[in-house]
């Protein structure tokens, strides 16, 4: 049995120069990635926070005109940064610019440092931010569907119109996160896609919880696309060389401590680790590419790893 | 004679392409066309509902429009005319402008104003404040933060914004990414402009503009700013150029119809000579960067003749005026 696998390229917008970040997006499109993502952060989140990073929406706007086929979104947008109705408007404009390739990625936000520096309201707890997220997603969902939604407790939106409507009949909302009590319920109620990370065991557990929430709220779980982040991948035939490249990526990214348990090695080893995800129904997997966007890995994920996973 | 530099023989023209009552393909095409024709600047609004004609109509978001234009143009400077300060956290706006500066190869302006269109604030649930004065106080502090970030400092908010030693990294590509403030409020807006802005936009009759410029100069003197550092831009409204007046009116009516039933319609309908005659005195006054509103159905003749005929005519008149003194 073969499985169609979608691959996403999450090009980190930190510790990069613009030309390289721009080119990485163009390259992902040329190579045949299905989706292209970047972060929504104002300070670097890996390595030293005192380093360069580009703004996410402006990066997407540029990529939208520089690419032809790939889908585009934030993995994921920080709900605390902007008014949610404005975000729906931005996503809709991106959908027009890209001729129907936008995904509205959104999450509760978590990185307190950038909120303090920028003077953005962080709330008092993850629970509070998730209550904000839920109401925000309701407003976004309504706007993208051509309704005229209003806020209830947290947002003051009042019968807000989104005109023009998106190009896509249904501009997908991807909610990031695997919080079991709230986030996955929000996914079940409102989202078109969900992204979770944390490795196969965590994802397996989240999947069960999501299924339960879908049953509870009466949602057909097959309507929700499951995506998972694969962390940082480096492909080389020589394991030592793969490790050297991997360590160099993290050193370059603000002298970060290299992440553990990443997919570093030959194509077959990487494919081996991805298969359990596709078997679980997570058929859209996102690969993190830190600057300088290792060209060999970007290419061989498509040419070598993808066929191996699909042939399984 | 003032030392406004009008004798240097330079005048820059810009187009503010309305993002309302159009489709994306057209808006994008116009951005490219403006550059091809040799304009210096390309602007759009920052509004969430149409502001001309019925507010129940289509409009695109401003920053993403700029981001797309940055990708498909190479030479024109790009900005919002002007950004609504109420819509977004000001430090985030400085970050967006900086990213636009990188994506455009150093062509970004950060256009900003206090915001005024209550309808869109109510619909989107954006805090409109209780008065113009309150919004102008916010603008002043916002621009202080933006300027600090753009200058590589680590500014903090004072009373209104909670920014705390906020870093803007990477810095803008331009040594000074210009901050353009729109508006003519004499007590607050012009004071904020004198303190923090690199460019200032105003419109109105020659007498009004002259008066506002005098007020700005007084504020500059008061706060110790060299007024010549501030670029003056003039909003010259929407014009329709035709040699035949009835044909001009027909084109203007077509624009009004398409723009949500815009009652008053384009402000100027006439010949290139008439327009140059009207605008030359502003240039002499020091407003050497003039932009025109431009909207669907995007009258091609006007766009071509503005830069092809009106611009040299303005230059001739300004040069002749200076020579006569």
Higher pLDDT among residues B8 and A230, named by residue: A230
Q: How confident is the model at residue B321 (pLDDT cuts 50, 70, 90)?
A: confident
- Kindly indicate whether the domain formed by A6-311 is annotated with CATH number 3.20.20.30: yes
Beta-carbon contacts below 8 Å between A and B: 152
Pairing relation of β-strands A35-38 and B12-17? unpaired
pLDDT of residue B2: 40
Helix locations, B24-87, DSSP H: 24-36, 62-72
DSSP states along A153-165: SS----S----SP
pLDDT value for B4:
43
- Asked if B29 reaches chain A (Cβ–Cβ under 8 Å), the answer is no
Q: B322: pLDDT confidence band, cut at 50, 70 and 90? A: low
| Set of chain A residues whose Cβ sits within 8 Å of the Cβ of B169 | 50-53
Please choose, from the candidates B29, B21, B92, the residue with its C-alpha nearest in 3D space to the C-alpha of residue B53. Answer: B21
Considering only CA atoms, which of A177, A253, A230 is closest in space to residue A13? A253
Give all domains of chain B, ordered by start, each with its CATH number. Answer: 6-324 (3.20.20.30)
pLDDT at B5: 43
Q: Å from A23 to nearest chain B CA?
A: 11
| Alpha-carbon radius of gyration of chain B | 19
Which ipTM score applies to this complex?
0.97
pLDDT at position B1, please? 37
Query: Which residue is listed with tokens 């409109």?
Result: B128
Strands (E), chain A: 6-11, 35-38, 71-74, 77-78, 102-107, 173-176, 193-196, 225-235, 263-265, 284-289
Across the interface, do A86 and B126 touch by the CB < 8 Å criterion? yes
| Residue of A51, A119, A150 for testing the chain B interface, max B β-carbons within 10 Å | A119
Contact A164 B95 (CB under 8 A): no
Percent of chain B with pLDDT over 70: 96
Report the residue of A21, A61, A135, A159 to disrupt the B interface, i.e. the one with the largest count of B CBs within 10 Å: A61
Q: pLDDT: is B323 or A244 the higher one?
A: A244
Strand partners, B41: B14, B77
In a mutational test of the B interface, the residue from A96, A102, A142, A157 whose CB has the highest number of chain B CBs within 10 Å is A96
Q: Do A86 and B61 touch (CB under 8 A)?
A: yes
Q: Give the Å distances, CA to CA, from A79 to A46, A85, B254, B310.
A: 20, 11, 41, 47
Q: Are A61 and B96 inside 8 Å of each other by CB?
A: no
Structure letter (DSSP) for residue A56: H
Report residue B7's pLDDT band, with 50, 70 and 90 as the boundaries.
very low
Residue B232 CB partners (closer than 8 Å, separation 6+):
B199, B200, B202, B213, B285, B286, B287, B288, B289
Quick one: three-class SS letters along B168-217? Answer: CCCCCCCCCCCEEEECCCCCCHHHHHHHHCCEEEECCCHHHHHHHHHHHH
- Which of A43, A66, A119 is opposite residue B89, by nearest beta carbon? A119
From the list B64, B103, B123, which residue is nearest A160 (CB)? B123
Q: Using CB atoms within 10 Å of the CB of residue B285, give its burial: 0 to 12 exposed, 13 to 18 middle, 19+ buried.
A: middle
Nearest-by-Cβ selection for A55 from B99, B165, B167: B99
**Where exactly are the structural domains of chain A?**
6-311
Interchain CB contact of B28 with A (< 8 Å): yes
Ranges of chain A whose pLDDT falls below 50:
none
**Nearest chain A CA: its distance from B61 CA (Å):** 6
Chain A residues within 8 A of B89 when measuring between CB atoms: 81-82, 118-120
Q: Which residues, 6+ apart, have CB-to-CB distance to B26 below 8 Å?
A: B296, B298
What's the predicted TM-score (pTM) here? 0.97
Residue to substitute from A20, A47, A62, interface B, most B β-carbons within 10 A: A62
Tokens of B83: 């950004």
State the pLDDT at residue B9: 59
Residue A312: per-residue pLDDT:
75
pLDDT digits (tens, 9 = 90+) for B102-152: 999 999 999 999 999 999 999 999 999 999 999 999 999 999 999 999 999
Per-residue pLDDT reduced to its tens digit, B73-93: 999 999 999 999 999 999 999
**Nearest in space to A226 (alpha carbons), one of A174, A274, A155:** A174
């Amino acid at each position: 049995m073969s499985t169609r696998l979608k691959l996403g390229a999450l090009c980190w917008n930190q510790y990069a120069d613009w030309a390289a970040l721009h080119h990485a997006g163009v390259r992902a499109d040329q190579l045949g990635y299905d989706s292209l993502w970047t972060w929504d952060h104002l300070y670097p989140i890996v390595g030293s926070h005192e380093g360069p990073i580009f703004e996410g929406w402006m990066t997407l706007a540029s990529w939208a005109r520089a690419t032809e086929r790939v889908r585009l979104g934030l993995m994921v947008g920080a709900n605390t940064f902007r008014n949610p109705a404005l975000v729906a408007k931005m996503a809709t404009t991106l959908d027009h610019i890209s001729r129907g390739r936008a995904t509205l990625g959104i999450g509760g936000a978590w990185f307190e440092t950038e909120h303090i520096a920028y003077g953005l309201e962080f709330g008092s707890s993850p629970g509070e931010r998730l209550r904000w997220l839920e109401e925000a997603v309701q407003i976004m969902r309504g706007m993208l569907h051509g309704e005229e939604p209003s806020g209830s407790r947290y947002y003051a939106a009042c019968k807000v119109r989104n005109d023009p409507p998106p190009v896509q009949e249904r501009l997908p909302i991807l909610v990031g996160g695997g919080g079991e009590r709230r986030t996955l319920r929000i996914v079940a109620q409102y989202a078109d896609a969900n992204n979770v990370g944390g490795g196969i065991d965590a994802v397996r557990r989240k999947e069960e919880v999501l299924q339960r929430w879908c049953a509870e709220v009466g949602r057909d779980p097959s309507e929700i696309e499951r995506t998972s982040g694969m962390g940082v991948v480096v492909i080389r035939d020589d394991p030592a060389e793969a490790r050297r490249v991997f360590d160099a990526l993290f050193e370059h990214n603000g002298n970060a401590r290299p992440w553990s348990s990443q997919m570093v090695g030959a194509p077959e080893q990487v494919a081996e680790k991805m298969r359990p995800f596709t078997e679980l129904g997570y058929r859209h997997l996102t690969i993190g590419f830190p600057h300088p966007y290792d060209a060999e890995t970007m290419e061989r994920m498509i040419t070598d790893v993808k066929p191996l996973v699909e042939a399984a | 004679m003032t030392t406004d530099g009008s004798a240097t023989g330079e005048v820059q023209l810009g187009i503010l392409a309305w993002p309302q009552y159009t489709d994306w393909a057209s808006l994008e095409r116009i951005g490219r066309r403006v550059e091809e024709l040799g304009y210096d600047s390309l602007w759009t609004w920052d509004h969430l509902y149409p502001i001309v004609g019925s507010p129940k109509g289509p409009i695109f978001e401003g920053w993403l429009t700029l981001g797309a234009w940055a990708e498909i143009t190479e030479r024109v400077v790009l900005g919002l005319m002007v950004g609504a300060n109420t819509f977004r956290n000001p430090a985030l706006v400085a970050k967006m402008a900086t990213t636009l500066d990188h994506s455009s190869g150093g062509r970004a302006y950060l256009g900003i104003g206090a915001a005024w269109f209550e309808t869109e604030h109510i619909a989107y649930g954006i805090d409109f404040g209780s008065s113009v004065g309150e919004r102008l106080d916010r603008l002043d502090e916002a621009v202080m933060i933006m300027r600090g970030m753009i200058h590589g400092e680590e500014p903090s908010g004072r009373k209104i914004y909670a920014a705390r030693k906020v870093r803007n990294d990477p810095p803008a590509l331009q040594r000074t990414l210009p901050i353009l403030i729109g508006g003519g409020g004499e007590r607050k807006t012009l004071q904020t402009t004198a303190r923090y802005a690199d460019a200032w936009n105003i419109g109105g009759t020659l007498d009004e503009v002259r008066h506002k410029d005098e007020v700005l100069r007084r504020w500059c003197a008061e706060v110790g700013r060299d007024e010549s550092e501030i670029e003056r831009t003039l909003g010259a409204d929407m014009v329709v150029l035709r040699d035949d007046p009835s044909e001009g009116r027909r084109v203007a009516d077509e624009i009004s119809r398409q723009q949500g039933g815009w009652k008053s319609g384009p402000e100027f309908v006439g010949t290139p000579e008439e327009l140059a005659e009207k605008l030359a005195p502003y240039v002499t006054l020091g407003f050497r960067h003039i932009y025109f509103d431009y909207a669907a159905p995007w009258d091609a003749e006007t766009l071509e003749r503005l830069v092809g005929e009106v611009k040299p005519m303005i230059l001739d008149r300004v040069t002749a005026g200076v020579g006569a003194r």
